[in-house]
Amino acid sequence: MTTTEHAPLTTPEVGGLGHSRKRVEDARFLEGRGNYVDDMTLPGMLHMAIHRSPLAHARILSIDTSEAEAVEGVVAVVTGELLAGYNLAWMPTLSGDTQAVLATDKVRFQGQEIAAVIATDRYIAQDAADRIVVEYEDLEPIVTPQRSLEADAPIIRDDKEGQESNLVYEWESGDKVATDAAFAKADRIVELDTFYPRSHPSPLETCGIVADVNSATGQATLYMTSQAPHAHRTVFALVAGLPEQNIRIVSPDIGGGFGNKVPVYPGYVVATAASLVIGKPVKWVETRTENLISTGFGRDYHMHGELAVTNDGKILGLRVEMLSDQGAFFSDAQPTKFRAGLFHIVTGSYDYPVAHVSTKGAYTNKAPGGVAYRCSFRVTEASYMIERLVQNAAYELGMDPAEFRMKNFIKKDQFPYLSPTGFVYDSGDYEKALKLAMEMVGYDEIQKEKAEGRADGKLVGIGIASFTEVVGAGHGDDYDILGLRMFDSAELRIHPTGKAILKLGVKSQGQGHETTFAQIVAEELGLPASDIKVVEGDTDNTPYGLGTYASRSTPVAGAATAMVARNLREKAKKIAAHLLEASEEDLEWEVGKFHVKGDPDSSVTIQDIAFAAYTNPGDSEPGLEGVHYYDPPNMTYPFGSYIVVVDVDPATGQWKVRRMVAVDDCGVKINPMIVEGQIHGGLTEGYAMSSMQHISFDEAGNCIGSNFMDYLIPTAWETPRFELGETVTPSPHHPIGAKGVGESATVGSPAAYVNAVMDALQPYGVKNIDMPVSADRVWAAIKNSGS
């Protein structure tokens, strides 16, 4: 990695910030000792399978469960009608909509849950579920948001009183009048119509639950694939009417989430209800196909963008209209005072005074979509839009795309920067990141090679994306889930022997929290990271938090961790003063100990102090533990510059990534190795989306992409090699200057890949190409250009 990093303050033995500490969680994963939901086996446990709709839109005339009930080993068959008796046929979603738990009136997407079978064995349950017979009356399937919003389209959500169209929401941001005025003055208006296709986060582990409701105690223990166990517990309390203290959600090891494990799925609710009624534990674990056809999709956004520019290359304003296909239920997690997420950064890394953005969401007969698939809100789509537009603007003006960007970047001294859509970017140095990426890739030489190659019919393309990101929701006044403020929490207990346990409200799904959060404590207290155990994902044993998604763990829970450690250091200082018989003002902190100013030999270590806290605390309250709830003052704004070089074969349309240079800035890094892993993952996902990964539907609403033969995910074979660089611009408001990084590369990189292919196609005057950029599409673009 090309780096501008500073030396760590702590030794490798202590392992504070900046050390590439090996992931402590890996030992159990590598030895097959992980503990996932499907590993859970409880005495007397039953298994559940779900009968799903084969149709996208149809009225249910009857449901016959008799054959299923007759199968030996079947304990119960649950239908929506049965659930309705417990007021559980519908549930609230995290976006304030409602969703059918088991369909009673209509089916609204292919794969929707209609009935569930509980049996002694998973295979018996599935066989019986297949024997359920449902009689339907076909209704027109609506598979595009455009058709959905036409006046004569059938109303998909006729269950909702007062719902007279298929519109889910309509939001706008910015100043329309001022933006129109800026456009009237522009020398040119650059346009782009593009579609960000529907894709699926497809974590390695599918969703599942083992619900164990003890009828004697009323205690419900739910082992669940949850990215947000505390928020889910509150939702369960509200949905099922169970007292919250009687619900314990345990989210054990999670095999990837990427936003897929944020929503509450019908399967969780039915398994819990079944366990409650039957009085035995019930396990439900999705198959791969069930996961791919029915759980939280991402993207599916139609976008039209316009950039007003002057002939000498200054951006004057931005106008964007977007239309989102939300599927049949609005069930991702959106803050109630939502200022449509894409607004945050749709103006990109560029400085111009005005913008106007409007967005609509429409119901369709598809599985619920719009989850923040490895992104905050809809910022992946926004970032893609602006970076494609900027590249197009440079072509129209005959300018080099890098030069056009440099000319319009928000400058380093303009931060904190108020964007035209009303968000305050905390910090950035976009010019530095792009310059470093250009140096690393050898920008000028490649441009030269490209020009020379064109004479011989060779197609080389160089594509840039200089993205800005936004991660770390809240502040709680602006961001919430069902009214729950988006803060997070950390509880730290230092035991008498100087070893510690850190409990968090967030929940890792593979990001390495057990490794990195211990490093924050190590930095603040000088306790070796290896002496600190990190615990997450158990609502009875961790403080309340809103969970892990949208790269919020480091900006929010990371800050809470630093703050609780600092609070304990304050208490430790009092105890140190007592032990050293000095006044607190006379003490100085160095890593892991206090000493008397001017007398370094007169010192006590943090371990000595921990022991004293339980044996000789002086006037202080005994013990050394605390909890901190952190409501961030603002989001953090990581950024980066990616440059992709591609070779395109004009005869076949095939394109190959020759170089991918990625310069990221996530502020202060806790663990450089883990950050690198996060970026590699994101760059791979960006490549996937740009080249192959999408889910489509036929006219009848059949999901094309219900398995990994149809839904293509790149393997190591196709994935390009990445060259990483970094700049370090600390977040000014985060206690340790860190910003999130988990999603940056997924958000930033798709535009770089597509811009590179577009660049290669410039000799043919190609104006646009949509993702996934398949060889067929490239070939057709060349052919249609008439050259």
Where do contacts with ligand CDP occur on this chain (CB under 6 A)? 511-513, 516, 548, 551-554, 666-671, 674-675, 678, 738-742
Alpha-carbon dihedral sign for residues 18, 20, 24, 28: positive
Let me know if 227 is a catalytic residue.
yes
Query: Which candidate, 638, 304, 690, places its Cα nearest to that of 463?
Result: 690
- Please identify, using beta-carbon distances, which residue of 168 and 490 lies nearer to ligand CDP: 490
Least CB distance to ligand CDP at residue 562 (A) = 12
Least CB distance to ligand CDP at residue 244 (A) = 25
**What six digits make up the tokens of 317?**
């304003």
Q: At 431, which amino acid appears?
A: E
Least CB distance to ligand CDP at residue 753 (A) = 22
- Please identify, using beta-carbon distances, which residue of 543 and 740 lies nearer to ligand CDP: 740
Least CB distance to ligand CDP at residue 731 (A) = 9
Q: Closest residue to ligand CDP, Cβ-based? A: 742
The position carrying tokens 């599409």 is 777
CB 678 within 8 A of CB 745: yes
- Please identify, using beta-carbon distances, which residue of 670 and 747 lies nearer to ligand CDP: 670
Cis before 772 (ω within 30) = yes
CB 404 within 8 A of CB 397: yes
DSSP letter for each residue of 493-558? EE-TTS-EEEEESS--SSS-HHHHHHHHHHHHH---GGGEEEE-SBTTTS-----S-TT-IIIIII
Alpha-carbon dihedral sign for residues 676, 682, 687, 690: negative
Catalytic residue, chosen from 99, 110, 227, 391, is 227
- Please identify, using beta-carbon distances, which residue of 27 and 780 lies nearer to ligand CDP: 27
- Please identify, using beta-carbon distances, which residue of 74 and 674 lies nearer to ligand CDP: 674
Least CB distance to ligand CDP at residue 554 (A) = 3
Query: Which candidate, 307, 312, 314, places its Cα nearest to that of 405?
Result: 314
Within 10 angstroms of residue 620's Cβ, the number of other Cβ atoms is 17
CB 102 within 8 A of CB 294: no
The dihedrals phi and psi of 55, each to the nearest 5 degrees, come to -105, 155
Burial 584-600 (b: 16+ CB within 10 A, else e): eeebebebbbbbbeeee
Catalytic residue, chosen from 469, 685, 726, 743, is 743
Least CB distance to ligand CDP at residue 728 (A) = 9
Let me know if 122 is a catalytic residue.
no
The dihedrals phi and psi of 527, each to the nearest 5 degrees, come to -75, 135
The dihedrals phi and psi of 722, each to the nearest 5 degrees, come to -115, 140
Query: Which residues, in sequence order, are CB contacts of 753 under 8 Å at separation 6+?
Result: 463, 644, 646, 657, 686, 687, 690, 691, 773
- Please identify, using beta-carbon distances, which residue of 269 and 674 lies nearer to ligand CDP: 674
Calculate the CA 134 to chain-centre distance. 37
Let me know if 391 is a catalytic residue.
no
Least CB distance to ligand CDP at residue 112 (A) = 29
Least CB distance to ligand CDP at residue 546 (A) = 11
CB 252 within 8 A of CB 35: yes
Catalytic residue, chosen from 374, 378, 405, 485, is 374
Alpha-carbon dihedral sign for residues 408, 409, 410, 411: negative
Apex 16 CA angle, 15 and 20, nearest 5: 60
- Please identify, using beta-carbon distances, which residue of 563 and 657 lies nearer to ligand CDP: 563
How far are the Cα atoms of 124, 447, 464 from residue 721, in angstroms, in the given order?
A: 46, 20, 17
488 sits in which H/E element: strand 488-494
Least CB distance to ligand CDP at residue 638 (A) = 8
Calculate the CA 333 to chain-centre distance. 11
Alpha helices in 616-743 (DSSP H): 672-691
- Please identify, using beta-carbon distances, which residue of 234 and 511 lies nearer to ligand CDP: 511
Q: At 329, which amino acid appears?
A: F
Catalytic residue, chosen from 375, 378, 388, 676, is 375
Least CB distance to ligand CDP at residue 19 (A) = 10
CB 347 within 8 A of CB 421: yes
Least CB distance to ligand CDP at residue 652 (A) = 38
Let me know if 375 is a catalytic residue.
yes
Q: What residues act catalytically?
A: 227, 374-375, 743
